[in-house]
Every structure is written in structure tokens, then in C-alpha cells.
Chains A and B, each alone.
Chain A
Amino acid sequence: MVQEVMLRLCAGFVKTIELFLLTLAGAIPLGLIVAFGSMSKFKPLKIVVRFIVWIVRGTPLMLQLIVIYYGPGLLFHQNIWGMGTSGRFTAVMVAFIINYSCYFSEIYRGGIESISKGQYEAGQVLGLTRRQVFFKIVLLQVIKRIVPPMGNEIITLVKDTSLARVIAVYELIWAGQTFIKSDGIIWPLFMTGIFYLVFSGILTVLLAKFEKKLSYFN
């Protein structure tokens, strides 16, 4: 019994990790593009991007998941996500990546805007190109400043992955919950809590290490 529970929980956990990693892989770069959009000198672009960010950050991720999964089908009478498990998984990924890109973009924007004008100007008078100024001077300073808030969002993402079950993606909590119905046992559900704790604990340690690594300057 224990063995079977663990196997099923591990299967759920693999899905959770998959959601987590793919969301980061998509949202970390996409967030940067959104951030540049929200800082654009071209006003209409800036307004549109900030409006979208406002909506995404101001509504529950759960609602976004449901709208993204069912919305296209109801509006256009066709399921753009494809059938079955993989279709649902794609929809979840799209929703998560959009949602987290918007959160990350605000963190990036805060980080970029916190760098003093003097850093750009010092690079410019030394003859560096704008690209060199960004990548060789500004970027690491931005990274240092955004690690703590990014860390918070990343830990939140660990727990948010459980929302995927609202459109029937078989992740960790679902795996644990099935045993309540089928076998009348609740400890597998508690077990999932331990999975989350260990996972976010490891991440917390890694993030703290990274933060420490960048503490040599300020």
C-alpha cells in the first residue's frame, strides 16, 4: 500500500515539477519582453502592455486558467488546445506562463528603474554602446536587486502549480486526494504537504545561496 501511494504521489510530483520548470523557462524570458514593453517610449504599446499586466495581476490565476481553457471553445466552437491530457496541459502552461510573465515583468521593471542614471551615463561617456551598458554594467546590478522578490514569486509558483487540477491536470495534490475516495485514507494528502515543504525548502536554500553570492557588491 505504502509503495503504491508513493508511486502515485511521485507521478503527481513529476507533473508538478514539470509545470514549475516549464513555467519558469517560459516566464523568465517572456517577462523581460513584457517589462521592456511596459517601459517602452512608444506610448500606445506601453499603455496596452500595462493594461494587460494590470488585468493579469488583478484577477485570480484560477479564473485565468478556466477562461483560457474553456474560452476559445465557447467563443469559436472549437477546442484549440487539442484533446485529452496533453491539450489540458498545454492550456495550463499557457495560462501559467502568461500569469507569471506579468508578475516577473513588474519585478524586472522595478529592478531596471532602480538603477541610477549615473550608471548609464558613466558607461556612455566611456564610449560603450547601449548594448554593452545594459549587459556589462546594468544587468548584474538588476539581477542582484530582483533575486529576493523573484524568490518570493518562485516559492509562490511551487504552490500555485496545484491550481492546474481545476482543469483536470493530474498533479501532486490530486494524486494524494484520490486515496481519500478510493481507500478512505488521508495520510497521502498530508504526504503531499511534505513534498511541497521539502521542495520549497530546497529552493529557499538555493535562492539564499545565490543571494549570498551576489553580496560582494551593493
Chain B
Amino acid sequence: MPILEVKDIHKRFDRSEVLKGISFSLEKGDVLGIIGSSGGGKTTLLRCINFLERADKGTISVNGKVIFDADQHDLTVEQQRENQLNFGLVFQQFNLFPQYTVLENVELAPRLLKRYPDAEIRERSMSLLKRVGLDQKIDRYPCQLSGGQQQRVAIARALAMNPSILCFDEPTSALDPELTGEVLKVIRELAEAKMTMIVVTHEIAFARDLSDKIIFLDHGVIAEEGPAKQVIDNPQKERTKAFLNAIQK
């Protein structure tokens, strides 16, 4: 059974339909890469999956259990929060909490939601920060870190709530080119450790190496999908070819 099953997601803003029926599934431990031109709906799709937007139509299931159904309106806030915690999201702009140190950023949510005993939270947070290579900077504030370091903290913070599926929305596009490598390395290590992930990115080479499967999202529809190397190296659709040509120039 796939860990994630997204069925027929539609989303409309005012007049324009931004997602026109998106369906895909993802196996546990796999990485899904999402590519596509600007305005294609990639961010909107991630936001729907993470409950930041409410899809107008469609369902989302995790491990066979429906956690979102656009036709169902009677979910309590509590239930919705619990469902949403199947996912973690790393933002393009990091969105760290500026008044908290690196360690506090990572520990804030588990502490407030009393996910684990305090000692365990500390232990887990430290090991997450070690994993992203920031265990020497736990007392720094976000403003004292480089963009790459901030993004790595954001990854640790998202992992602290132990999501089943971690989503990234262009995690390196707000970074200076020389800082993207350190973030991509962390994501690659997570993939090797069999973390289930959805990665929206413009880094085509990275998407190709990292992903098991790639979706090319264009104007709100999945224009092409398939194994990563096939979609990138040998695209079938004209739209995919045109996009890849344009971006790789």
C-alpha cells in the first residue's frame, strides 16, 4: 500500500483554477520530485497537502486512511491538526522563529504539544541538529546564521515533529549558489536514510539524482510523470522537453 495517495485535487483562486485534478501516489521511503514552470501550481499543491490551503475537491490518504476529503466539513480542529502532522514542510524562506535560538526553534513544537518527555525532546533535537551539521551552533539566533544554516535548522525543526512525509518547497532557491550544496547534501542524506519526501525544486540535476519518481506539473495538471531518469533524460511530452530545454540553457 502506498504511504501517500493524492486523488483528484482541485484548487481554485477566484477565477483561475490552479490545480485541475492532481492524482499521484508515493511509496514509503521514496522521494517524489516535482518540477514545472513558474505559476504551474507546485507551491499550491504542497500547501494543499500541508493543510495551508483547503482543496476544493479531492482526497488525501496516508497509509490507506483518508486524512483529507474536500467533501467532508465536520473535522474538528484537533483532528485536522493531528492529520496534518503526518506531514512536515520546509519553506523556501526558512521561516525560522527569530526570537528563539537554534535549539529552541527545534524544540518549540514538541515541547508545546508535549509530544515526548522533555529529556527525550532534548536528546532527539540534539541528534537532529547533529544530523544537519549544526550541533555546534545550538545557542545561535537565526540572524547569526547563513541562509544555508538557517535552512538546515528548518529541516531539523520539521523533523522534530516526526512527520511521515517531509515536503520541501524550493528549499534552495532563496540561497546564494555557494550555499545550496550544504542543504542539498542534507536532503540527499535523508533520502539515503529512507525518509519519504516530496521535493519541489528547480535544480533539475539534483531532482534527477535524488528522486525515485518525478512529476512535471504544468498549468495545474500533471503533464508527465515517471521514473526520475526517464522523465529528465528521455521526456516523452513536448511540454516537458520544452521546459527542460529552457531551464537547462
Q: Is B142 an interface residue (CB 8 A)?
A: yes
Q: Is B24 an interface residue (CB 8 A)?
A: no
Q: Is A208 an interface residue (CB 8 A)?
A: no
Report the Cα distance A17→B32, complex, angstroms. 65
Q: Is A182 an interface residue (CB 8 A)?
A: no
Q: Is A124 an interface residue (CB 8 A)?
A: yes
Report the Cα distance A137→B77, complex, angstroms. 20
Contact between A121 and B95, CB atoms less than 8 A apart:
yes
Contact between A122 and B98, CB atoms less than 8 A apart:
no
Binds B, one of A23-31, A49-57, A128-136, A147-155: A128-136
**Chain A residues in 8 Å Cβ range of B93:** 116, 118
Contact digits for B151-192, partner A, Cβ 8 Å, 1 yes 0 no = 000000110010000000000000000000000000000000
**Chain B residues in 8 Å Cβ range of A116:** 93, 95
Main secondary structure on chain A at its contact with chain B? helix
Report the Cα distance A73→B81, complex, angstroms. 55
Contact between B113 and A127, CB atoms less than 8 A apart:
yes
Query: Could you say which of B97, B141, B143 contacts A119, with CB atoms under 8 Å apart?
Result: B97
Report the Cα distance A190→B95, complex, angstroms. 53
Interface size grouping (class) on chain A:
20 to 34
Q: Least Cβ distance of A24 to chain B in Å? A: 24
Report the Cα distance A127→B88, complex, angstroms. 10
Query: Could you say which of B51, B85, B97, B157 contacts A137, with CB atoms under 8 Å apart?
Result: B97
Contact between B141 and A217, CB atoms less than 8 A apart:
yes
Q: Is B99 an interface residue (CB 8 A)?
A: yes
Contact digits for A188-209, partner B, Cβ 8 Å, 1 yes 0 no = 0000000000000000000000
Q: Is B89 an interface residue (CB 8 A)?
A: yes
Query: Could you say which of A123, A125, A217 contacts B99, with CB atoms under 8 Å apart?
Result: A217
**Chain A residues in 8 Å Cβ range of B109:** 123, 126-128
Contact digits for B63-87, partner A, Cβ 8 Å, 1 yes 0 no = 0000000000000010001101101
Q: Is B91 an interface residue (CB 8 A)?
A: yes
Query: Could you say which of B50, B51, B98, B141 contacts A141, with CB atoms under 8 Å apart?
Result: B98
Q: Name A residues whose Cβ lies closer than 8 Å to a Cβ of B.
A: 116, 118-119, 121-129, 132, 136-137, 140-141, 144, 216-218
